[in-house]
Amino acid sequence: MTNRYIIFHKPYGVLSQFTQETPQHSTLKDYIQIPDVYPVGRLDWDSEGLLLLTNDGQLQHRLAHPRFGHQRTYWVQVERIPDIDAITKLQMGVEIQDYRTQPAQVRLLSAEPPVSDRIPPIRFRKNVPTAWLEVTLKEGKNRQVRRMTASVGFPTLRLIRVSIANLQLDGLQPGEWRDLTDSELKSLHNYPQARLGR
């Protein structure tokens, strides 16, 4: 069997699986008609952005295993404008439920990033400003980014994953997918070992 490696821009409201459990949500099957590929990790139904799918079980295991700690970067639209204290707390690690997050790279973006309109759009409140953060993590707890921003008083309104390890979402529109290039695949296979050793 030939291995396939696919990068997909998951739209809002799509489950990161091929089987439909609830009629109100679309699934990957509505966008990708390739047998036997599965997502590496997941994105919640209300999150958007980069999803990697493959039938390469060894690569799936390596990227999913916590000890490899590959980076994931998100653009996060939050309610109100985070101050330096909130940014510092997110960078240092915060308590979410019974867990303390690892240090993260977090910065306030000076302008809205180049994102597609969300369907449906986020709720808009004229008297409440919003801001965009760029957040890079090496871990992926359930709904972690949303819980992190909420813990410092700035609820997440929109969450878009823009990179996984060396893979970038660049130019891929919501609902589109493509095969990885040879250079992307080579870098991805080398990524965990190059960063953290075998």
Q: pLDDT per residue over 1-59, tens digit each?
A: 689 999 999 999 999 999 887 777 899 999 999 989 999 888 999 999 999 999 998 88
48 and 84 part of one domain: no
Q: Is 83 among the residues known to form the active site?
A: no
Closest residue by Cα to residue 13 from 34, 28, 35: 28
Closest residue by Cα to residue 41 from 21, 78, 68, 23: 68
How many whole angstroms from its chain centre is CA 111? Answer: 20
158 and 93 part of one domain: yes
User: Which residue range(s) make up the domain with 158?
Assistant: 71-163
User: Distance of CA 39 to CAs 48, 51, 93, 164, Å?
Assistant: 14, 7, 27, 12
Annotated catalytic residue within 30, 36, 44, 179: 44
148 and 75 part of one domain: yes
Q: Residue 182: give its domain's CATH number.
A: 3.30.70.580
108 and 173 part of one domain: no
Note the pTM of the prediction, 2 decimals. 0.91
Q: pLDDT per residue over 96-129, tens digit each?
A: 988 899 999 999 999 999 999 898 888 877 788 9
